[in-house]
């Protein structure tokens, strides 16, 4: 007689809900005593090399409503194009720049803000240089799996035009959804989850 296999059933999926803030940003959720400050709060120190910039934006759902309970993480190269990572073999990254940060959206305005430096160019696996960019990961209500996207810079038109990722997009009319608008030392990058202006997301 064949043995009963007893396969386990797949667990039901669920969205991040409010617990993402409790687990990842407890101080923001007014839960003290876990960390002195929430992890990922500080991206650069005053000694960090390169051009200091501030990235700010909002996340919009399919109805055009701003999400006020989302969480955004970014990671990027330093101003020399080096990552603060043990796997970085091209040189030593700026020790005064973390390269990674986390920010919950403001409960009143829905805005996320990162004080960072403009990243340098990094090579694509085939050696071609990518345009300066920042990678973002978004979680929020209604999202079962975190969404990954990139932000490029509006003042890097020449580099953007030859970027291996941007030039690979099948629908080139969607490239502007990946471009942060530079205004002085600020870059505005709004993210649209659905609709006509839906941001390009990457399956990584």
**Which pLDDT band holds residue 23 (cuts at 50, 70, 90)?**
confident
pLDDT category of residue 18 using cuts at 50, 70 and 90: low
Residue 80: domain span: 19-192
Domain total for the chain?
Answer: 1
* Across 92-115, average pLDDT: 94
CB-CB contact of 130 with 144 (8 Å): no
Evaluate whether 127 touches 84 at the Cβ level (below 8 Å).
no
For residue 72, the domain's CATH number is 2.60.130.10
69 in any annotated domain: yes
Residue 104 lies in a domain: yes
Inside any domain, residue 89: yes
The pLDDT tens digits for 138-168 are 998 778 789 999 999 999 999 999 999 999 9
- pLDDT confidence band for 103 (50 / 70 / 90): very high
Q: What is the pTM of this model?
A: 0.89
Give 34's pLDDT tier (boundaries 50, 70, 90). confident
pLDDT of 88 reads 85
* Residue 12 counted as domain residue: no
């Amino acid at each position: 007689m064949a043995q009963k296999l007893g396969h386990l059933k797949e667990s039901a999926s669920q969205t991040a809900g409010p617990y993402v803030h409790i687990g990842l940003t407890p101080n923001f959720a007014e839960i003290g005593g876990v960390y002195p400050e929430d992890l990922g709060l500080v991206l650069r120190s005053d000694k960090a090399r390169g051009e200091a910039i501030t990235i700010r934006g909002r996340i919009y759902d399919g109805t055009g409503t701003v999400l006020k309970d989302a969480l955004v993480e970014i990671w990027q190269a330093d101003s020399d194009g080096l990552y603060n990572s043990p796997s970085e073999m091209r040189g030593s990254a700026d020790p005064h720049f973390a390269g990674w940060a986390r920010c919950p959206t403001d409960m009143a305005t829905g805005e996320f803000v990162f004080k960072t430096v403009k990243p340098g160019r990094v090579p694509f696996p085939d050696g071609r240089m990518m345009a300066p960019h920042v990678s973002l990961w978004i979680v929020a209500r209604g999202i079962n799996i975190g969404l990954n996207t990139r932000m490029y810079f509006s003042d890097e038109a020449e580099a953007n035009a030859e970027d291996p990722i941007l030039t690979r997009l099948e629908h080139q009319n969607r490239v502007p959804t990946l471009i942060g608008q530079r205004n002085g030392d600020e870059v505005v990058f709004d993210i649209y989850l659905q609709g006509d202006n839906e941001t390009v997301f990457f399956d990584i």
